[in-house]
Amino acid sequence: MSWKPEVHAEGEWVGNGLVFATKAESDKWGQDLLNRWFVPDAARSVESNEPVNYKIENGVLIAVK
């Protein structure tokens, strides 16, 4: 299982293709998006079966191959 961050914007939940190994990483990135963008009003993490493609290490987003 993996986790995808989504933000609620203009009446719908949308993601950006990032998939994390942990809910904590996904939550962190979702909250970061919420803090940087003006349109979204909420953030969440949803379970996924997609392969992990990113991680957060020392506060930096890193692509996972």
Among 57, 58, 32, residue whose Cα is nearest residue 45: 32
Give the pLDDT confidence score for residue 45 in this predicted structure. 98
DSSP string for residues in 45-56: EEEE-SPP-EEE
Is the full-model pTM beyond 0.75? yes
Give the pLDDT confidence score for residue 61 in this predicted structure. 95
Taking the C-alpha atoms of residue 37 and residue 44, their distance in angstroms, rounded to an integer, is 15
Ordered mean pLDDT values, 10 residues apiece, the chain (65 residues):
96 95 97 90 97 96 94
Give the pLDDT confidence score for residue 65 in this predicted structure. 86
Residue spans per domain, the chain = 2-63
